[in-house]
Amino acid sequence: MELLSTSEIAGKWNVSRRRVTTLCIEGRIEGAVHKGNMWLVPEDAKKPTNPRKSTCKGGK
């Protein structure tokens, strides 16, 4: 299992590095580890869903 930096994961998921770091801090990325002052994420980790986005497709 290869571990990637938050910058590498951010590029892969098309989100900011800060967003990946926040997801790691919140424990929402399975397998993420804090090493020194950086987070390392497994390359096969799944991008967590955004709870703010509705799955309903009808307006309300």
**Is residue 54 over pLDDT 70?**
no
47 located within any domain: no
60 located within any domain: no
The CA distances from residue 34 to 3, 12, 22, 47, in Å, are 11, 19, 12, 18
Give the residue-averaged pLDDT of 8-12: 97
Task: Kindly state the tokens that stand for 49.
Answer: 């869903």
Give the residue-averaged pLDDT of 30-39: 96
33 located within any domain: yes
**Is residue 4 over pLDDT 80?**
yes
Structural domain harbouring 21: 3-42
Give the pLDDT score at 51.
75
Q: Which of 48, 39, 49 is nearest to 4 (CA)?
A: 39
